[in-house]
Amino acid sequence: MLAVCGVCVLAALPARAEQFVTVLTGGTSGVYYPLGVALSNLYGKVIADSKVTVQATKASVENLNLLQAGRGEIAFTLGDSLSQAWKGDEEAGFKAKLTKLRTIGAIYPNYIQIVATKDSGIKTLADLKGKRVSVGAPKSGTELNARAIFGAAGMKYGDFAKTEYLPFGESVDLMKNRQLDATLISAGLGVAAIRDLSTTQDITIVSVPEETVKKVGDETFVSETIPAGTYKGQDEAVRTAAVRNYLVTHSGVSDDIAYAMTKATYENLEALTAAHAAAKGIKFDASVTKSPVPLHPGAEKYFKEKGMN
C-alpha cells in the first residue's frame, strides 16, 4: 500500500514544460540562416529544458508576420521592414500594425549588393534598364530595399526587360545559366550566393551613389562601402547603401527567455563571427538599443545592466 501511495505522489508532481524556441531566419544561401544556426546552439545551452529549432524563411517580412502570430520566438529583420511592420504598411506586406513586436537589439548592417555578370555590360544603375534583373523574393526585405533604391534612382521594375522575384540562390543559378543579367541582394558582406557566383564567372558590383541613397528619404538607409576584395575579381571599393538589421521577438515571450537570448547573443559575438563574417559588423554600443520598435523588457533589463539603456 505504501509503495502504491509513493507512486501516486510521484505521479502528481508537475513535469517541467519543454521550452520551444524557434529562430526565424531567411534563405539558406543568405547570412541570416548561418547566424540563426549559431544562435540556436547558444540558446540551447543557456535556456533550460529548451528545444531550439531554426526555420528557413523568406526573411524580414515573413519573419515579422510570423512573430506577430506567435509562430516563432526570435527573428532576423531589416530595419526598414521593422519600421513598416510597426506602422502597418500594407504595401510592404503588413495588413495591420504588428503591435506585438519587441526588439532584442540591433545587429550588423545589410549592404545593398547589386551584382551583374561582366558580359552583361552593366556598370551603373542606369545600365540595368532593358536588362533581366532579379529583385528578391516577393515583398521580402530585399525586395523592399530594391523598390527603395531603384525608385530613388528614378527607375521602376517596368524599366527592366524582365523582372524576377527570386531568393539569392535561385537568382545566382539563373545568372550562371545566362538567363539573368543582374540581381540585387540585401545581406551582410561576403554573402555565400555572390561568393559562389564570383568563383564561376566574372562579375561587376554596381555602385549606388551617395546622392541616390539620400533620395531614398528613409533614415534607416545610409551610405557605406563594400571593401575591395570582398568578392573574387572585385579589385576596387564600391559605394552602396546599407540598412541595419535587428533581432526581434514578441510580447508573448517571457522576460526571462528574452533576457537569456539577449545576453547569449551579445556576449558570444565571436561565435557569430565564426558562423559568418557579417557578424563583425555588430557594434555593442549605445546604438544597439535604438530601434523603431520598443525593446522587450527582458532585453531592456540586460542593456541596463550593461549601462547602455
Q: Can you tell me the mean pLDDT for 237-265? A: 97
Q: Measured between alpha carbons, how far is residue 83 from residues 92, 108, 223, 251, 283 in Å?
A: 10, 17, 19, 17, 20
Q: Can you tell me the mean pLDDT for 273-302? A: 95
Specify the 3-state DSSP secondary structure of 54.
strand
Q: How much is the mean pLDDT over the chain?
A: 93
Q: To which H or E segment does residue 1 belong?
A: none
pLDDT of residue 1: 42
Distance separating alpha carbons of residues 309 and 302, to the nearest angstrom: 9
Is residue 180 scored above 90 in pLDDT? yes
Confidence of residue 270 (pLDDT cuts 50, 70, 90): very high
142-156 pLDDT, tens digit per residue, is 999 999 999 999 999
- The whole model's pTM is what? 0.82
- Strand partners for 240: 224
Confidence of residue 125 (pLDDT cuts 50, 70, 90): very high
> Domains in the chain and their CATH numbers?
19-108+245-305 (3.40.190.10), 110-243 (3.40.190.10)
- Decide: 146 and 153 in contact? Cβ < 8 Å: no
Q: Can you tell me the mean pLDDT for 33-52? A: 97
Q: Which amino acid is at 159?
A: D
Q: Which amino acid is at 263?
A: K
Confidence of residue 38 (pLDDT cuts 50, 70, 90): very high
Q: To which H or E segment does residue 305 belong?
A: helix 297-305
Confidence of residue 220 (pLDDT cuts 50, 70, 90): confident
Confidence of residue 16 (pLDDT cuts 50, 70, 90): low
Q: Measured between alpha carbons, how far is residue 229 from residues 120, 195, 273 in Å?
A: 21, 11, 19
pLDDT of residue 18: 85
Distance separating alpha carbons of residues 183 and 145, to the nearest angstrom: 12
Distance separating alpha carbons of residues 248 and 293, to the nearest angstrom: 9
Of the candidates 169, 162, 131, 135, the residue with the CA atom closest to the CA atom of residue 149: 135
pLDDT of residue 6: 44
